[in-house]
Structure 1
Amino acid sequence: MGTRGAGKHRGSSRLSKKAAGIAGIAALATTGVVGTLAAPAFAADNDSSTQDVGLKAAVVADELAGDIQAQADAQQHAAEAAAAKAQAEAEAKQKAAEAKRLAEAKAKAEREAKERAAREEERRRLNTFVSPLADSYISTSYGAGGAMWSSGSHTGIDFHAATGTSVRAVGAGVIVEAGYGGAYGNNVVIKHNDGTYTQYAHMSSLSVSVGQQVTPGQQIGLSGSTGNSSGPHLHFEARSGANYGSDIDPVAYLRSHGVSL
């Protein structure tokens, strides 16, 4: 009986071990030990994920660094472009200012040249002499004798002229006498810029007054026959001074100033 009992016990032990093994596995699964035993596999998976995350982080870092570099490059290019634009604008302004300066200098030079030319023209015009009458001729010469003149001789020249003919100043000057002059009738005396004087007598009317400036060819009155006159004409005298008796040859005087008679 003892042997059989031992055999049953062994059989029961194997069965019990098998059952215990199954129960143990179930218990391990229930208590999480299986999960603990499986942890190395999960740990392997976690290591792979960590590597993936690391790679992704490295990629992101590279991409971020590239973006930063690209942004820096863009900013540098923008700064260089802005600097180039500013320099171009400054050069353009400088060129514009230089062009303006040159234009102003040219305009000033042209203006000064015109002003000089105008002054020269005015000077030439004021130094120009003309005949006291247009389209006339000398009817009585200088120095002609006769009882008609108080001095015994003609102190000027007479120009043929109908009453109302325009009488002109022979040159630029200032009026020193304008009015009735006795034997000269209505007369005008002009002091010219060179210090000489001219007289215009027997006029029917006057159009200037004492102190007035006149220019060559300017009308000073109309011819007539006032004063000691035998008929309409213009008595013209040239003088070295303001007073009677300082007369000089009117023809030589006018010719010396470029007037052809």
Structure 2
Amino acid sequence: MAFTRATGKHRRPSRITRTTANVAGVAALTTTGVIGGLAAPALAAADEAAVEHTGLTQAISVGDSLAESVDAQAAAQRQAADDAAAAKKAEEAAKKKAAEEKRKAEAEAEAKAKAKKEREAKERAAREAERKRLNTYVSPVSGSYVSTGYQTGGAMWSSGSHTGVDFHAASGTTVHAVGSGTVVEAGWGGAYGNNVVIKMNDGTYTQYGHMSSLSVTVGQTVTPGQQIGLSGSTGNSSGPHLHFEARSGEEYGSDIDPVSYLRSHGVNV
């Protein structure tokens, strides 16, 4: 027959029941942060096995590990954020540097293109100026005037008339090529004395007579205003001057009006 006790609410709890209830209370207080100062003195003498049954030691160990894990995760997130910010900053710096280098390269290319354009323009202007210079004509004697006109009659000339014009010039005055051409004769010319004949670039011929000395040779190219000799009174001459002729061909007798010839090339005579 089983052992039984009388039932009723005034039954005194057993020692085992009280101890279990008190230990459970301590566990509840500890999990809420309340330290065991409120526990009865009898709890301090409770069986260690009873404390182990509550799991208090395991709960504290798990809490510390979780906190450390949370801290490590937060640190990792902060580090990741810092790394991302640094990477973004480096990317922006690289983009800025690339944009600056591109701007500089474009500016340099633009400056080079501008310099090239200016240089080409200067070269074109220089070539044009040289072309104009080579195509211009000048007077054979600077600051002079015609002292004897074209086709003037007289016994002085074997043809009966003057085949050119005479420019007033003291002996030793510089004589210029009136335009661009090639020297085809340079030396003694009989009645013309020391003379030079130039085949001009337009196919006509110009002749310079009675000079005291010559400065060019056959085959030499000359440009407008270039010195070809000095005036004098050699050959069939009555005094120092420059005899100037213009011809349509190289042969004698193909002479044309020298004044009209020079004026047609822009020379004010």
- Bucket of the pairwise TM-score, normalised by the shorter protein: 0.7 to 0.9
Which has the larger Rg? 1
Shift of 1:37: 7.3
Shift of 1:65: 0.7
Shift of 1:51: 2.9
Residue 90 in 1 paired to residue 98 in 2?
yes
Q: Which runs of 5+ in 2 are unaligned?
A: 1-44
Match of 1:43 among 47, 52, 67: 52
Match of 1:173 among 181, 186, 191: 181
Shift of 1:178: 1.3
Deviations 1:163-190 (A, max 9, x none): 1000011112221211111111111111
Distance, in Å, in 2 between the alignment partners of 1:43 and 1:69 is: 38
Distance, in Å, in 1 between the alignment partners of 2:93 and 2:219 is: 68
Q: 1:216 matched to which residue of 2?
A: 224
Q: 1:142 matched to which residue of 2?
A: 150
Shift of 1:44: 7.3
Distance, in Å, in 1 between the alignment partners of 2:114 and 2:63 is: 74
| TM-score (norm: length of structure 1) | 0.80
Q: Which residue identity lines up with residue 247 of structure 2 in the other structure?
A: R
For the residue of structure 2 that corresponds to 1:70, the secondary structure is helix
Shift of 1:202: 0.8
Shift of 1:104: 1.7
Query: Taking every aligned residue pair, what percent have the same amino acid on both sides?
Result: 63
Q: Which residue identity lines up with residue 239 of structure 2 in the other structure?
A: G
| TM-score (norm: length of structure 2) | 0.78
Structure that is richer in helix per residue:
1
Q: 2:89 matched to which residue of 1?
A: 81
Deviations 1:135-183 (A, max 9, x none): 2111111101112111111110001111100001111222121111111
Match of 1:122 among 117, 126, 130: 130
Q: Which residue identity lines up with residue 39 of structure 1 in the other structure?
A: E
Q: 1:195 matched to which residue of 2?
A: 203
Match of 2:257 among 249, 252, 255: 249
Between the two proteins, the alignment pairs up a number of residues equal to 225
Distance, in Å, in 1 between the alignment partners of 2:47 and 2:78 is: 48
Shift of 1:258: 1.0
Q: Which runs of 5+ in 1 are unaligned?
A: 1-35
Distance, in Å, in 2 between the alignment partners of 1:237 and 1:207 is: 19
Q: 1:61 matched to which residue of 2?
A: 69
Residue 111 in 1 paired to residue 111 in 2?
no
Instruction: Single out whichever of 69-78 and 219-228 deviates more from structure 2.
Output: 69-78
Q: Which residue identity lines up with residue 52 of structure 2 in the other structure?
A: A
Distance, in Å, in 2 between the alignment partners of 1:50 and 1:223 is: 131
Q: 1:31 matched to which residue of 2?
A: none
For the residue of structure 1 that corresponds to 2:118, the secondary structure is helix
Distance, in Å, in 2 between the alignment partners of 1:163 and 1:44 is: 144
Q: Please provide the CA RMSD for this pair.
A: 1.9
Distance, in Å, in 2 between the alignment partners of 1:105 and 1:156 is: 55
Deviations 1:73-118 (A, max 9, x none): 2222222222222222222222222222222221121111111111
Shift of 1:39: 2.0
Q: 2:213 matched to which residue of 1?
A: 205
Match of 2:139 among 105, 128, 131: 131
Q: Which residue identity lines up with residue 204 of structure 2 in the other structure?
A: T
Q: Which residue identity lines up with residue 204 of structure 1 in the other structure?
A: S
Moved over 4 A (4+): none
Distance, in Å, in 2 between the alignment partners of 1:202 and 1:249 is: 19
For the residue of structure 2 that corresponds to 1:220, the secondary structure is strand
Distance, in Å, in 2 between the alignment partners of 1:55 and 1:260 is: 116
